[in-house]
């Protein structure tokens, strides 16, 4: 859905990471008087020294690859698939053969891992991530206000 159609439904923006595209959206949110909450992904595993073949079918696979590097992984191959990619037997066989040839572990996102066949998924590591806010107090305050307003107004009434 185009961003212009989403603005009437937005109460704030959570900006994950940095970059010109995100900064442009943040500027547009601030111009509308909306708060911008900054956050970043934190890898939930230490992969220091591990050789990996990284693959992901997400909107911005480079963010996943950067998280792997932040976790200490040595990425020997990167495979980016379209967002929500339906992994098939041919994809899995190709990835497995390449990882074997490179002497690397297969690693993917939590989102991708659930779309793998169970036998293949058992061979693939997952990099868990958490979202860390630069300052979560303003976000929590905003959420409390929104929940309180919804409780008073009711969920089906416009704000």
Q: Are residues 59 and 117 in the same domain?
A: yes
Q: Are residues 49 and 105 in the same domain?
A: yes
The 74-80 sheet, strands edge to edge: 74-80, 51-56, 105-108, 124-126
Q: Are residues 52 and 111 in the same domain?
A: yes
* H or E element, residue 95: helix 89-102
Read off the DSSP letter of residue 68. Answer: H
Q: Is residue 159 part of a domain?
A: no
Residue 79 has pLDDT above 80, yes or no: yes
Q: Encode pLDDT of 5-49 as tens digits.
A: 999 999 999 999 888 888 999 999 999 999 999 999 899 999 999
Q: Is residue 158 part of a domain?
A: no
- pLDDT for the residue numbered 151: 79
- pLDDT for the residue numbered 1: 76
CATH of the domain at 105: 3.40.50
Question: What's the mean pLDDT when you consider all of the chain?
Answer: 92
Six token digits for residue 8: 């009437």
Q: Could you tell me how far CA 132 lies from the centroid of its own chain?
A: 12
Q: Is residue 95 part of a domain?
A: yes
Q: Is residue 21 part of a domain?
A: yes
| Confidence tier at 4 by pLDDT (50, 70, 90) | confident
Q: Are residues 99 and 66 in the same domain?
A: yes
- pLDDT for the residue numbered 142: 94
Q: What is the total count of domains within the chain?
A: 2
* Integer Cα distance of 19 and 87 in angstroms: 29
Structural domain of 10: 3-41+132-153
């Amino acid at each position: 859905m185009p961003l212009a159609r989403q603005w009437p439904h937005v109460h704030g923006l959570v900006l994950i990471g940095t970059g010109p595209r995100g900064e442009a959206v943040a500027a547009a949110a601030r111009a509308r008087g909306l708060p911008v909450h900054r956050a970043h992904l934190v890898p939930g595993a230490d992969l220091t020294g591990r050789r990996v073949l990284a693959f992901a079918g997400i909107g911005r696979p480079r963010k996943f690859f950067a998280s792997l590097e932040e976790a200490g992984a040595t990425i020997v191959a990167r495979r980016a698939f379209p967002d929500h990619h339906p992994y098939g037997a041919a994809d899995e066989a190709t990835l497995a053969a390449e990882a074997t040839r490179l002497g690397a572990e297969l690693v993917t996102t939590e989102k991708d891992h659930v779309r793998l066949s169970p036998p293949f998924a058992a061979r693939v590591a997952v990099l868990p991530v958490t979202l860390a806010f630069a300052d979560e107090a303003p976000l929590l305050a905003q959420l409390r206000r929104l929940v309180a307003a919804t409780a008073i107004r009711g969920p089906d009434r416009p704000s």
